[in-house]
Amino acid sequence: MHPILKLVLQRIALGILLLFAASAMIFGLTEALPGDAAQAVLGQGATEEALANLRREMGLDQPAITRYFQWLGGIVQGDLGTSITNRLDIATSISNRLGNTLFLAFWAAVFSVPLAIFLGLLAVRYQNRWPDKVISGATLATISIPEFLIGYVLVYFIAVQLGWFAPLALISDSMSLGQKLHAIALPVIVLTMVVLAHMMRMTRAAILNVMQSAYIETAELKGLSTFNVIRKHAFPNAIAPIVTVVMLNLAYLVVGVVVVEVVFVYPGMGQYLVDAVVKRDVPVVLACGVIFAGIYISLNLIADLVSILANPRLRHPK
């Protein structure tokens, strides 16, 4: 068996085990919370008889381990289950929201990835000079501030004071692409600022590490400009760690949008997950958690494969 194929099969098997472990952990943590879905629906003033009847109707009277394996059996068959609070099919409810989350993550990636690589190259070109210091300082500042704070600051100054964009990122299928982009402008800016620093600093560090190689010195002695040395020799050989950090941040754009979606009331998976946690809707929480974990594991697998294909020493370990 080819080493790369063997590696792919090993990572897929490990990913399945991780998904199983993640679902068990999410279920256990949800069960550990005080109260349940029946209590969330009826409120604190509900009688014990009413709670018992609703729990029986929701299936919450069964042991937790039984409910978990019933859900797991449905997942294996491709059935995400039914919400216990509104009795709607979870797959149908998630499909549109997942599309909204991927739409937001896609446009954040379109702006953040090229900008991060460009700023990383610019920082290397002017190493230890004022452009490098300004770029490094600004990106370090953005990564140090929580995304919800950045979001509220942008809402106050850009949406409320200047009126350039709407404070709430509400989109619908009836809107045109331009209207949707205008609606998600603020959350895209927040996500770009959050992930930009990671990718820029890794790009800078990877290229600076390659710049210390002997063949870089040879290229400089041949009379190539610093920009051409970076573009033709340093950047292609530093692509593996850059791709890895880009994939990790793309995974964050999809998985870590929960806070941003809540701040801007964006109708995506993050908002859906938070609502389900508040209502103690365990099947919805499990479905969202497994989807997020699957996306994260898949992007990590892609990052590993691209790193191996980009490095001849890893492609041919012998």
- Contact partners, residue 125, CB within 8 Å, separation at least 6: 131, 226, 227, 230
Domain positions in the chain:
90-278
Superfamily of domain 90-278: MetI-like (1.10.3720.10)
Q: What is the mean pLDDT of the chain?
A: 77
* Cβ atoms 81, 74 nearer than 8 A: yes
pLDDT classification of 170: cutoffs 50, 70, 90: confident
Q: Residues 235, 211: contact at Cβ < 8 Å?
A: no
**Number of CB atoms found within 10 A of residue 133's CB:** 13
- Go through the chain and tell me how many residues it has: 318
CB 207 within 8 A of CB 230: yes
**Would you place residue 106 in the very low, low, confident or very high pLDDT band (cuts 50, 70, 90)?**
confident
Residue 52 pLDDT level (bands cut at 50, 70, 90):
confident
In degrees rounded to 5, what are phi and psi of residue 165? Answer: -130, 165
Q: Of 137, 245, 124, nearest to 195 (Cα)?
A: 245
Q: Is the dihedral of CA 230, 232, 236, 242 positive or negative?
A: positive
CB 270 within 8 A of CB 261: yes
Judged against a pLDDT cut of 80, whether residue 247 lies above it is answered with no
- pLDDT digit string, tens, across residues 116-161: 888 888 887 787 788 888 888 888 887 788 888 888 888 888 888 8
| Angle value at C-alpha 77, between 173 and 61, nearest 5 degrees | 95
Burial of 1 (0-12, 13-18, 19+ CB in 10 A): exposed
* Cα–Cα distance measured from residue 266 to residue 168, given in angstroms and rounded to the nearest whole number: 7
φ and ψ at residue 233, rounded to 5 degrees: -120, -45
pLDDT tens sequence across 249-289: 777 777 777 788 888 888 888 888 888 877 777 778 888 88
Q: According to the model, what pLDDT value does residue 143 have?
A: 78
3-state secondary structure of 96: helix
Query: Minimum mean pLDDT among 25-29, 45-49, 249-253: which range?
Result: 45-49
Residue 102 pLDDT greater than 80, yes or no = yes
Question: What is the pLDDT at residue 136?
Answer: 81
d(CA 223, CA 161): 53
Neighbour count for residue 311 (Cβ, 10 Å): 14
